Amino acid sequence: MFLSSYSVILAAACGANAQLVNPNNDTFGNVFNFWTKTTDGWDLTRGNATNAITLPLPFPKSRVTIQPASSALVIIDMQNFFLHPDLNGDPRGRAVIPTTIDMIHAFRANDMKVIWTNWGLTEFDLMSMPPSFINGFSSDGTSSTSFGSDMGTIQGNISVGRKLMRGSRNAQPFGDLFDEQVGGVANGTDFYFNKNRLSGMWGASTPMQTFLQDNLITTLFFGGVNIDQCVWGTLLDSYYKGYDVILVDDVSATTSPASATGMVDFNAQLNGWRANSTNILPALT
């Protein structure tokens, strides 16, 4: 009976897929995951036009139409460790916080999910961490100051905890973003996922990917720090796994040279789209 049922499903899928191939060749993908090319851009709704929103994104790919129910804003590593001034956090990352909050509020207002993915390590993560990562996060070139090391106190007596460990103060979202994340999760509009590599989508599956699959989310907007490292890594893995990827430049930042951002911008618009909040917010508000 299983084989018979499988054959019926496969035949139905093949029949539906055949309908996606049209004389104008303006549909790309398969019955489960497809885009439709329009006269001035792309339709990413996959046939569900209910409450669809069209965003005037920049050339070359121009306007895209999205389905809010299957779209999400992904905020990456906007943590005290990377942003707090007393932890040598980057002012360029802090500068994009107001625009990030504007994006968060606009996505919530349109019933679009907000996803936070941050470094948040466990003891098991420390046991299995590759040497290259341990070296990359060392403060003085020794392993004793890398992941899991005690980062001491700031402002006299405020303990910031062990480096990038789950639940530590240094791993929390910075400033007003912390209240946004806590409030959003409590209200059911936002969702928080710890990660143990640069990419929140690294590996065969991650908690974030499982959530996306369970909620039929296919279109992802990316921002955070660093744009050429954890943001780029998460975007690229999402692209590899078949998601629509849209990089939002003005809610992203980096401590790297300008050439690093240039590389990300160039490749992001090949893999998906580049945009600024100014291309997105008017359509959402």
Residue 59 included in any domain: no
Residue 16 has pLDDT above 70, yes or no: no
Residue 154 included in any domain: no
- Number of domains observed in the structure of the chain: 2
Does residue 23 have a cis peptide bond before it, meaning omega lies within 30 degrees of 0? no
Q: What is the mean pLDDT of residues 236-265?
A: 98
> Token digits for 243?
């998601």
Same domain, 19 and 94: no
Q: What is the mean pLDDT of residues 117-144?
A: 97
Per-residue pLDDT reduced to its tens digit, 21-56: 555 689 999 988 999 999 989 999 999 999 999 999
Residue 40 included in any domain: no
> Model's pTM, two decimal places?
0.91
Residue 161 included in any domain: no
Same domain, 8 and 116: no
**Domain with 274 in it:** 70-120+166-284
Return phi, psi of residue 216, to 5°: 55, 40
Residue 149 included in any domain: no
CATH number at residue 263: 3.40.50.850
Same domain, 258 and 180: yes
Q: Which pLDDT band holds residue 11 (cuts at 50, 70, 90)?
A: very low
Residue 35 included in any domain: no
Same domain, 81 and 188: yes
DSSP 78-134: -BHHHH-GGGT--HHHHHTHHHHHHHHHHHHHTT-EEEEEEE-B-HHHHHT--HHHH
Residue of higher predicted confidence among 58 and 118:
118
Residue 18 has pLDDT above 70, yes or no: no
